[in-house]
Amino acid sequence: MKRRQFLQLLTALGISPHIVNSRASDANLYQLPEFGNTRILHFTDCHAQLLPIYYREPSINIGVGNAKNKPPHLTEQAWLNFFGVKNGTRAAHAFTALEFNHAAQQYGKMGGFAYLASLIKQLRAEVGDGNSLLLDGGDTWQGSATALWTKGQDMLAACNLLGVDVMTGHWEFTYGQQQVLENIAAFNGDFVAQNINLSEEAQFAAETENASVFKPYVIKHLKNARVAIIGQAFPFTPIANPKHFIPDWQFGIAEHALQSLINEIQTNKKADVIVLLSHNGMDVDLKLATRVTGLDVILGGHTHDAIPKPVLVGKTWVTNAGSHGKFLAVLDLEIKNGRLADLRYQLLPVFSNLLTADSAMQRLIDDIRAPFLEKLRQPLAVAEQLLYRRDNFRGSFDQILLDALLSRTESEIAFSPGFRWGATLLAGDTVYFEDLLNHTAISYPNTYVSALSGAEIKAILEDVADNLFNPDPYYQQGGDMVRVGGMTFRCNAEAKMGARISECRLGNGELLLPWKKYKVSGWAAVNKLACAEPIWDLAEKYLLDKKTV
């Protein structure tokens, strides 16, 4: 993408150094200049949020090694400075956590499938029938109460109506192999994943020589281009999520297999442009682009990074399109003589108060929610401050879950997973049961209580920290730092494995003793444990008792 084109995007967003946010810039936000002859639309990590939401971007997102102080590891003012965005604008609110409570009240909620549908229809109509594709990067069927209770089928209906052409996955797999296959059978588009194969045992039992579980890629024949879409599902699913959900499937980055597919497409001249629809996470994609040749664009997801300008690695453009339905990526391509000649990439914030809800999608959403509405809208408490999740080390909604665990289990220490999904609530908002499920709706929600030594607790923190801060992206396997309650610790992100965590102390200031056992509670255990009630039942009781949080 040329600098001139990027500046045009900034101007459309109302974030030029010479333009302050105004009604005129709001009106022009979705009026894109004509470019190219093929359009690809991309969203990712919506986490089943059918309604408009608030979602606070991180204020801390530490990069290590080659990623230090570079996108996507820039936040707040550093992010604004790098991308030349003026503070106090609509775009500054969409892409950063600065003054979030005030800005959210000013600019309103974002996303929502009814509004996303309207924007997609407009953008597809602009280029005409047969000249566009809609891609879904995964983490679509999970993240809400209705998605959990329908095993993702609510989102299948919504995505079919939205017109998704191709998708890949991650949290989708936590419904189990059989449910995933049933859901894909009901999906109108193509589900692609080149990096998922049958285990040797499963392949032998199936008596097949084809180890692929899903289509590795598809070729979409548009009027002006042949577009190859290769799928890259989350490669660490059996590590980040329970293996027993997918016992017959093997995952990995599979870069050699990926290179073979690219070579096959190029050798046989099957496509004019090759796109990797990835759920690796942006750091992994940036490394992958240095090791694999022939990809034109990587449309990435998983790490929820909202990056308005793609990064050029060799000859491959690498992107990441945010999360929770807040953004829609627009990739306009100029295809000439059977090859990609030029492109323009724009990441559009989806402000629901600037768009009209699509009536058909709104009816579908209302129908999906109707049987569950009474439970969804059950009030639990009132938020006294901003309640959010996303940050490297802690989130105020996570603290509620930790406090609930400590209180209801009478444990000394509590753990809560560092998930990146979960809608934000503003100070003064009522916390409904639906909001609680927006932070906890998984298929392995049960709480547990265990006795762990101080040495074991430190080892757990070291392991999670290495997952987050290993300088080699291929060893970063998803999520932020585990949240802790009842204790504190220091973390040196740039230290070596085993030396990042220090000064583990109880809430009263006492150092954790390596040999002493402590009562520890938590939820969402990847390994099978003796478990108690689901986290939402425990937290519901806590919130109803507290009334304000």
Q: Measured at the alpha carbon of residue 227, what is the angle toward residues 223 and 230, in degrees to the nearest 5?
A: 155
Give the pLDDT confidence of 421-476 residue by residue, as tens digits. 999 999 999 999 999 999 999 999 999 999 999 999 999 999 999 999 999 999 99
Mean pLDDT of 281-305: 98
Look at residue 15 in the predicted model and tell me its pLDDT.
41
Say if CB 86 and CB 20 are below 8 A apart.
yes
Is 60 exceeded by the pLDDT of residue 80? yes
Look at residue 402 in the predicted model and tell me its pLDDT.
98
- Distance from C-alpha of 192 to C-alpha of 203, rounded to nearest angstrom: 19
Q: Give strand ranges (E) for 350-495.
A: 379-382, 413-418, 430-432, 447-453, 480-485, 487-491
Helical (H) or strand (E) element with 3: helix 3-13
Give the pLDDT confidence of 403-415 residue by residue, as tens digits. 999 999 999 999 9
Q: What is the mean pLDDT of the chain?
A: 94
List all residues 6 or more positions away from 376 whose beta carbon is below 8 Å from its beta carbon.
145, 146, 369, 432, 433, 434, 437
Domain positions in the chain are: 3-367, 377-546
Is 60 exceeded by the pLDDT of residue 187? yes
The pairing of strands 339-349 and 249-251 is unpaired
3-state DSSP: the chain helix, strand, coil percent, rounded to 5? 35, 25, 40
Query: Does the bond joining 52 to the residue before it have cis omega, within 30 degrees of 0?
Result: no
Q: Which CATH architecture has domain 3-367?
A: 4-Layer Sandwich (3.60)
More confident residue, 16 or 84: 84
377-546 has CATH 3.50.50.60 classification:
no
Give the pLDDT confidence of 28-37 residue by residue, as tens digits. 899 999 999 9
- Distance from C-alpha of 238 to C-alpha of 242, rounded to nearest angstrom: 6
Task: Look at residue 534 and give its three-state secondary structure.
Answer: strand
Q: In sequence order, what DSSP letters do the residues of 355-385 get, joined into one string? A: SPPPHHHHHHHHHHHGGGHHHHT-EEEE-SS
The pairing of strands 413-418 and 480-485 is antiparallel
Look at residue 268 in the predicted model and tell me its pLDDT.
93
Q: How far apart are the first and last CA of the chain?
A: 46
Q: Of 62, 89, 55, 60, whose CA–CA distance to 76 is shortest?
A: 60
Task: Enter the DSSP assignment of 207.
Answer: T
The tokens for 265 are: 């497409």
- Distance from C-alpha of 338 to C-alpha of 355, rounded to nearest angstrom: 36
Task: Look at residue 91 and give its three-state secondary structure.
Answer: helix
Give the pLDDT confidence of 87-143 residue by residue, as tens digits. 999 999 999 999 999 999 999 999 999 999 999 999 999 999 999 999 999 999 999
Look at residue 70 in the predicted model and tell me its pLDDT.
94
Q: Do domains 3-367 and 377-546 have the same CATH topology?
A: no
Say if CB 91 and CB 98 are below 8 A apart.
no
- Distance from C-alpha of 458 to C-alpha of 348, rounded to nearest angstrom: 42
- Distance from C-alpha of 370 to C-alpha of 154, rounded to nearest angstrom: 12
- Distance from C-alpha of 50 to C-alpha of 53, rounded to nearest angstrom: 9
- Distance from C-alpha of 350 to C-alpha of 55, rounded to nearest angstrom: 12
